[in-house]
Amino acid sequence: MKYESQKVAYWFFAAAILLLSLQITYGFIMGFARMGYDGLHEFIPFNTARATHTNLLVVWILLGFMGAAYYIIPEEAQRELVAVKLAYAQLISFLLVGVVAIIGYHLNYWEGRKFLEIPRPLDWLVVVNVLTFLGIILTTLYKGKTRTTTAMVLAMGLLFAALLYLPGMIWFDNQTMDSFFRWWVVHLWVEGVWELIMGGILAFLLIKLTGVDREVIEKWLYVIVGLTFLSGVLGTGHHYYYIGVGKIWLIVGGIFSMLEPLAFLAMALFAVAMYRKGEKRHPNKLALYWTLGTAIMAFTGAGLLGMAHTLPQVNMYTHGTLVTAMHGHLAFWGAYGMIVFSFITFAMPNLTGRRLYDTVNGQLAFWLSNIGMIGMTMAFGVAGVAQVYLERKTGLEFGAVQQELEVHFFVLVLTATMFATGIILYIIEFFRYGSPQDEAIGMEEDLKTIY
Amino acid sequence: MLSKSQARTFFLGGTAVTFAIFLGLSWNSLVNEVPAQTNAHLLNAEVVRGKALWEKNNCMGCHTIFGEGAYYAPELTKVYERRGEGYIKAALMSKVPWAPRGRKMVAYGFSEEQANDLVAFLKWAGEVDLNGFPPKPDVKR
DSSP states of A185-215: HHHHIIIIIHHHHHHHHHHHHHHHHH---HH
Band (A451; pLDDT cuts 50, 70, 90): low
Q: Using CB atoms within 10 Å of the CB of residue B46, give its burial: 0 to 12 exposed, 13 to 18 middle, 19+ buried.
A: middle
Q: Tell if the CB–CB gap between A174 and B67 is shorter than 8 Å.
A: no
3-state secondary structure of A164: coil
| Interatomic CA distance for residues B42 and B29, integer angstroms | 18
- Smallest Cβ–Cβ distance between B14 and the set A226, A389, A403 belongs to A226
Residue numbers in B near A47 (CB within 8 A): 58-62, 70, 72, 106
The length of chain B, given as a count of residues? 141
What ipTM score was computed for the predicted complex, to two decimals? 0.97
Fold of B42-141: Cytochrome Bc1 Complex; Chain D, domain 2 (1.10.760)
Band (A450; pLDDT cuts 50, 70, 90): low
Show the domains of chain A with their CATH numbers.
Answer: 4-447 (1.20.210.10)
Q: Tell if the CB–CB gap between A233 and B59 is shorter than 8 Å.
A: no
Residue A280 predicted with pLDDT over 80: no
List Cβ neighbours of A232 (8 Å cut-off, separation of 6 or more). Answer: A187, A188, A191, A192, A195, A256, A260, A263
B48, B133, B139: which to substitute to probe chain A, counting the most A Cβ within 10 Å? B133
A233, A248, A249, A260: which to substitute to probe chain B, counting the most B Cβ within 10 Å? A233
Using a pLDDT cut of 70, give the percent of chain A over it. 98
CB B103 within 8 A of CB B73: yes
B57 reaches A (C-beta below 8 A): yes
Q: Tell if the CB–CB gap between B132 and A316 is shorter than 8 Å.
A: yes
3-state secondary structure of B68: strand
- Smallest Cβ–Cβ distance between B7 and the set A51, A223, A233 belongs to A223
CA distances from A357 to A53, A82, A242, A441 (A): 31, 31, 49, 18
A423 residue type, one letter: I
| Interatomic CA distance for residues A425 and A276, integer angstroms | 29
Angle between helix A46-77 and A338-352 (nearest 10): 50
Using a pLDDT cut of 90, give the percent of chain B over it. 95
- Using one digit for the tens of pLDDT, what is the confidence trace for A74-106? 999 999 999 999 999 999 999 999 999 999 999
CA distances from A159 to A136, A153, A197, A279 (A): 12, 10, 10, 34
Query: What is the Cα gyration radius of chain B?
Result: 21
Q: What residues does B69 pair with on adjacent strands? A: B64
pLDDT of residue A443: 82
Which residue blocks in A299-397 are alpha helix, DSSP H? 305-308, 312-318, 322-331, 338-352, 360-387
- Smallest Cβ–Cβ distance between B68 and the set A51, A114, A402 belongs to A114
CB A230 within 8 A of CB B18: yes
Q: What is the DSSP string of A109-147?
A: -S--STT--S-HHHHHHHHHHHHHHHHHHHHHHHHSS--
Q: Using CB atoms within 10 Å of the CB of residue A153, give its burial: 0 to 12 exposed, 13 to 18 middle, 19+ buried.
A: buried
pLDDT of residue A442: 87
Using a pLDDT cut of 90, give the percent of chain A over it. 96
Average pLDDT across chain A, whole number? 95
Residue A447 predicted with pLDDT over 80: no
Residues (pLDDT < 50) of chain B are none
| Interatomic CA distance for residues A302 and A436, integer angstroms | 34
B132 reaches A (C-beta below 8 A): yes
Band (A448; pLDDT cuts 50, 70, 90): low
Band (A256; pLDDT cuts 50, 70, 90): very high
pLDDT of residue A319: 97
pLDDT of residue A449: 52
A121 reaches B (C-beta below 8 A): no
Q: Which of A100, A106, A108 is nearest to A29 (CA)?
A: A106
Q: What residues does A235 pair with on adjacent strands? A: none
Q: Tell if the CB–CB gap between A244 and B129 is shorter than 8 Å.
A: yes
pLDDT of residue A281: 81
Residue A378 predicted with pLDDT over 70: yes
Q: Tell if the CB–CB gap between B66 and A242 is shorter than 8 Å.
A: yes
| Interatomic CA distance for residues B92 and B50, integer angstroms | 12
| Interatomic CA distance for residues B44 and B48, integer angstroms | 6
Q: Which pairs count as long-range contacts for A25-32, CB under 8 Å and 24+ apart, including other chains?
A: A26/A52, A26/A53, A26/A56, A27/A53, A27/A416, A28/A413, A28/A416, A28/A420, A30/B72, A31/A409, A31/A412, A31/A413, A31/A416, A32/A409, A32/A413
pLDDT of residue A252: 98
Residue A389 predicted with pLDDT over 80: yes
pLDDT of residue B140: 79
